Structure 1
Amino acid sequence: MSASEFFKKFDLTLVLATISLITLGVFAIFSATSSSEFSDQFYERHMIFGIAGVVMMLVISYLPPKHLEKVSSVLYVLSLLLLVSVLIFGKKISGQRSWFSFGGFGIQPAEFAKVATVMIVAFFLSKDSEGRNSKLGLKDTLVIAGLVLLPVALIALQPDTGTNLVFLSILIPVFLWAGMPAFFIVALIAPVIVAISAFLSDIVGNYLLYVVLAITAIGIFLFKEKQYLKIGVIVLCLIAGFGSDYVYDHLETYQQKRIMSVFDPTSDPRGSGYNVIQSKVAIGSGGLFGKGYMQGTQTQLNFIPAQWTDFIFCMVGEEFGFIGSVVLIILYLVIVIKLINNGYNARSRFLSLACIGFASVFLFHLFINIGMTVGILPVIGIPLPLLSYGVSSLLSFTIMLGIGMNAYRNRNIVF
Structure 2
Amino acid sequence: MKKLKAILIDFLQQADLVLLALCCVSTIFGIVMIHSATQFMNSERYVIVQTCALGIGIVLYILLSVIDVESVIKKWPWFVAFNICFMLLLIPFGVDDGTGNKAWLKLPGVPVSIGPAEVVKISFTMLLAKQLSWLKEEKRDLKSIKAIAFTGGHTLALVGLYFVLSGDMGNALVYLFIFAGMSIVAGMALRWFALAGTVAVGGLAFMWLFEKIPSYMLNRFIILYDHSYDPQGVGWQQTRSLLALGSGGLFGQGYMQGTQSQSAYSWSLPARWTDFIFSVIGEELGMVGCLVVLVLLSAIVLRCIDVSHRVQSAYASYICIGMAAMLMFQIMVNVGMCLFIMPVIGLTLPFFSYGGSSVVTLFCAMGIVSGIHKNAIKVRKPGKPLQY
| 3-state SS of paired residue (1:359) | helix
Give me the whole-angstrom Cα distance separating, in 1, the residues matched to 2:76 and 2:39: 40
Other-structure match for 2:357: 392
Q: Does 1:295 align with 2:300?
A: no
What are the within-5 Å matches in structure 2 for residues 341-356 of structure 1? Answer: 341-356=306-321
Other-structure match for 1:12: 17
Q: Does 1:261 align with 2:226?
A: no
Give me the whole-angstrom Cα distance separating, in 2, the residues matched to 1:136 and 1:317: 44
| Aligned length, in residue pairs | 367
Other-structure match for 1:177: 185
Give me the whole-angstrom Cα distance separating, in 2, the residues matched to 1:281 and 1:23: 26
Other-structure match for 1:147: 154
* TM-superposed deviation, 1:241: 7.1
8 Å CA contact 1:118, 1:357 repeated in 2: yes
Structure-1-length-normalised TM-score: 0.82
RMSD: 2.5
Task: Kindly provide the amino acid, as one letter, of the partner of residue 171 in structure 2.
Answer: T
* TM-superposed deviation, 1:124: 1.5
Give me the whole-angstrom Cα distance separating, in 1, the residues matched to 2:33 and 2:368: 27
Give me the whole-angstrom Cα distance separating, in 2, the residues matched to 1:44 and 1:126: 41
Q: Deviations over 1:347-383 (max 9, x none)?
A: 2222111110110010000000000111001111001
Q: Deviations over 1:99-140 (max 9, x none)?
A: 222464111111112112111101112226349997453212
| 3-state SS of paired residue (1:266) | coil
Give me the whole-angstrom Cα distance separating, in 2, the residues matched to 1:27 and 1:183: 45
Other-structure match for 1:119: 126
8 Å CA contact 2:142, 2:148 repeated in 1: no
Other-structure match for 1:271: 233
What are the within-5 Å matches in structure 2 for residues 101-140 of structure 1? Answer: 101-102=106-107, 104-127=111-134, 129-130=136-137, 135-140=142-147
Other-structure match for 1:200: none
8 Å CA contact 1:347, 1:412 repeated in 2: no
| 3-state SS of paired residue (2:121) | helix
**Residues 1:8 and 1:282: Cα distance change in structure 2 (over 3 Å):** same
Give me the whole-angstrom Cα distance separating, in 2, the residues matched to 1:270 and 1:71: 52
8 Å CA contact 2:207, 2:213 repeated in 1: no
| 3-state SS of paired residue (2:231) | coil
What are the within-5 Å matches in structure 2 for residues 300-319 of structure 1? Answer: 300-301=262-263, 302=266, 303-319=268-284
Task: Kindly provide the amino acid, as one letter, of the partner of residue 55 in structure 1.
Answer: V
What are the within-5 Å matches in structure 2 for residues 331-370 of structure 1? Answer: 331-370=296-335
* TM-superposed deviation, 1:182: 3.5
* TM-superposed deviation, 1:265: 2.8
Percent identity of equivalent pairs: 30
Other-structure match for 1:320: 285
Other-structure match for 2:383: none
Q: Does 1:92 align with 2:96?
A: yes
* TM-superposed deviation, 1:282: 0.4
Other-structure match for 1:243: 206
Give me the whole-angstrom Cα distance separating, in 1, the residues matched to 2:9 and 2:22: 21
Other-structure match for 2:245: 283
Q: Does 1:69 align with 2:34?
A: no
8 Å CA contact 2:37, 2:262 repeated in 1: yes
Match of 2:54 among 46, 50, 62: 50
Give me the whole-angstrom Cα distance separating, in 1, the residues matched to 2:358 and 2:334: 14
**Structure 1 stretches of 5 or more lacking a match?**
196-238
Q: Identify the range of structure 1 (181-190 vs 294-303) with the bigger mean alpha-carbon deviation.
A: 181-190
* TM-superposed deviation, 1:142: 0.7
Give me the whole-angstrom Cα distance separating, in 1, the residues matched to 2:378 and 2:156: 33
Task: Kindly provide the amino acid, as one letter, of the partner of residue 351 in structure 2.
Answer: L
Other-structure match for 1:231: none
Give me the whole-angstrom Cα distance separating, in 1, the residues matched to 2:69 and 2:187: 22
Task: Kindly provide the amino acid, as one letter, of the partner of residue 18 in structure 1.
Answer: C
8 Å CA contact 1:113, 1:151 repeated in 2: no
**Structure 2 stretches of 5 or more lacking a match?**
1-5, 381-388
**Residues 1:90 and 1:177: Cα distance change in structure 2 (over 3 Å):** same
| 3-state SS of paired residue (2:89) | helix
Q: Does 1:27 align with 2:28?
A: no
Q: Deviations over 1:286-336 (max 9, x none)?
A: 110111110101101041111111111111111111011001001010011
Q: Identify the range of structure 1 (261-270 vs 69-78) with the bigger mean alpha-carbon deviation.
A: 69-78
* TM-superposed deviation, 1:70: 2.7
| 3-state SS of paired residue (2:104) | strand
8 Å CA contact 1:369, 1:383 repeated in 2: yes
